[in-house]
Amino acid sequence: MRTNVYLTFDVEIWCGGWNSLDANFPRNFERYIYGSKYRDCCGLPLVLKLLNESKLRATFFVEPFFSARFGLKYLNIIVDMILNAGHDVELHIHPEWVDEASRPLIENCTTKRQHLSEYTYSEQCELIRISLDLLKNAGASNVTAF
């Protein structure tokens, strides 16, 4: 009997709070993506290396809304790293980033809403569309899972 096992990972950035985002983001990007100042020994690079050495394939659900504040540069790094290692990028969103965007992502979103269910159906559809566009602009063009 054959059993299918799916390896999935959520890839996201958290800055430890919302008060000092701009000051904390670079350090937290390093922490959550690289795991250390030594970029090849920990975090996402290590996970990708171990998967490839083991001849395993995984799906990485990447949260893109942080890039609406800090730019596609950081999202590109994540997407490139995953795709260049031969793995899949799919969609994972944290709507609490929406009101932190440098330009409004949806109308009248000026308060923190942590869960997708706190948005109307049409807002949810728009947020999913925007997040797919962010991933596409970062190089992940075949996103099919959420």
pLDDT digits (tens, 9 = 90+) for 56-87: 999 999 999 999 999 999 999 999 999 999 99
d(C-alpha 101, C-alpha 69), whole Å: 4
Q: What is the pTM of this model?
A: 0.91
| Residues 64/77, Cβ–Cβ less than 8 Å | no
pLDDT on residue 35: 85
pLDDT digits (tens, 9 = 90+) for 18-63: 888 899 999 889 988 998 766 666 889 999 999 999 999 999 999 9
Angle 106-32-21 (CA atoms, 0-180°, nearest 5)?
50
Domain coordinates of the chain in residue numbers? 7-137
